[in-house]
């Protein structure tokens, strides 16, 4: 029986990354509040919400207590609102535009090294249960509500370049094509991979239109005679005729599975808000904090120092 290949970790570098995580976090919060937010009130809100969601499983009241401590020791310099006001801010649907901009800004520093991307979706648990499921099945069975998160990340660093948090499933391919446009604004795209749910002609056309090459999980029902775009035909032909080489590119998408797992382990795998808008904002804030962890790693591993860390 052959032994499984081990990938030893650089313990010295790993220790540096872990030890500087919170120091760089507050530098990031101060930078982002000035970079994206125009008004003082919005800056204060973003600083408080980002600091709150850095620590999973904190209730609003306990989070405010922690924010007051941060202010007392001068880690943040903002007016901390009452817990009810914090909840109201987080539930504001207009906040979503600002959070999308924060995702974009936090991913820009890695444009130098990221050229291959992957898209995937994952589920996030909530604290609520659907009653319609029990009524339809005529059984007393609780079915937990979930959010669906569509994320696109760079396969080298796992930085998230585009994110959609939805309360319902569906529109996977439409969202994926939107992510291609968002990513193309700041990154040069060479390859784009995804599992079988993204195996579609329009997706191949979109990736090829921005200069990239698609690598999706090709299904067995392709017979080589179907009409389609050149990128669609080339992708399917390569997956059949040179599957070993094709799989090397396709399996880069495995890194996004690691991204989902890392985010859930460090920043929580469920949301606590009851309103849909608050759930979406809560989950997005946690993905922004995931990007910060990636930037902290980039500083030590690849020598990329964002402006707010200088």
The answer to whether position 6 is within a domain reads no
Long-range contacts of 5-13, Cβ-Cβ distance < 8 Å, separation of 24 or more? 13/300, 13/301
The answer to whether position 57 is within a domain reads yes
112-141: average pLDDT: 77
The answer to whether position 29 is within a domain reads yes
Question: For the chain, what is the domain count?
Answer: 1
Per-position DSSP letters for 161-196, written without gaps between them: EEEEEESS---HHHHHHHHHHHHHTTS--SEEEE-G
Phi, psi of 221 (to 5 degrees): -80, 0
Sign of CA dihedral 31, 37, 38, 44: negative
- Compute the chain's Rg from CA coordinates: 21
Spell out a b/e string for 30-49, using b for 16 or more CB atoms within 10 Å of the CB, else e: bbbbeebbeeeeebbbbbbb
The answer to whether position 5 is within a domain reads no
Least confident of 30-34, 110-114, 247-251: 30-34
237-249: average pLDDT: 87
What was the pLDDT predicted at 145?
Answer: 78
**What is the C-alpha separation between 31 and 288, in angstroms, rounded?**
13
The residue range of the domain holding 118 is 11-309
6 SS3 class:
coil
The answer to whether position 3 is within a domain reads no
Interior CA angle at 99 toward 95 and 100, to 5°?
115
Instruction: Categorize the per-residue pLDDT at 30 as very low, low, confident or very high, splitting at 50, 70 and 90.
Output: confident
Task: Work out the percent of the chain whose per-residue pLDDT is above 90.
Answer: 40
The answer to whether position 117 is within a domain reads yes
The answer to whether position 268 is within a domain reads yes
The answer to whether position 1 is within a domain reads no
Task: Work out the percent of the chain whose per-residue pLDDT is above 70.
Answer: 90
């Amino acid at each position: 029986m052959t032994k499984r290949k081990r990938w030893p970790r650089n313990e010295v570098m790993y220790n540096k990354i872990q030890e500087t995580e919170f120091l760089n976090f507050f530098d990031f919060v101060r930078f982002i509040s000035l970079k994206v937010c125009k008004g003082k009130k919005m800056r204060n809100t973003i600083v408080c919400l980002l600091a709150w969601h850095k620590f999973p499983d904190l209730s609003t009241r306990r989070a405010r207590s922690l924010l007051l401590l941060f202010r007392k020791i001068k880690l943040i310099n903002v007016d901390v609102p009452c817990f009810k006001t914090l909840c109201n801010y987080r539930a504001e649907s207009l906040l979503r535009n600002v959070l999308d901009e924060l995702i974009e800004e936090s991913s820009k520093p890695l444009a130098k090294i990221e050229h291959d991307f992957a898209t995937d979706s994952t589920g996030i648990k909530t604290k609520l249960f659907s009653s319609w499921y029990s009524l339809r099945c005529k059984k007393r069975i609780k079915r937990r509500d979930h959010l669906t998160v569509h994320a696109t990340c760079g396969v080298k660093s796992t930085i998230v370049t585009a994110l959609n948090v939805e309360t319902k499933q569906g529109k996977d391919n439409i969202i994926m094509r939107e992510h291609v446009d968002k990513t193309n604004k700041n990154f040069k795209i060479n390859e784009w991979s995804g599992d079988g749910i993204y195996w579609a002609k329009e997706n191949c056309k979109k990736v090829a239109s921005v200069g990239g090459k698609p690598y999706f999980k090709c299904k067995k029902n392709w017979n080589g005679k179907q009409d389609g775009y050149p990128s669609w035909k080339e992708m399917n032909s390569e997956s059949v005729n040179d599957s070993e080489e094709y799989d090397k590119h396709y399996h880069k998408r495995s890194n996004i599975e690691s991204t989902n797992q890392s985010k859930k382990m460090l920043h929580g795998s469920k949301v606590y808000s009851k309103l849909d808008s608050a759930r979406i904002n809560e989950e997005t804030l946690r993905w922004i904090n995931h990007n910060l962890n990636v930037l902290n790693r980039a500083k030590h591993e690849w020598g990329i120092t964002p402006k707010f860390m200088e």
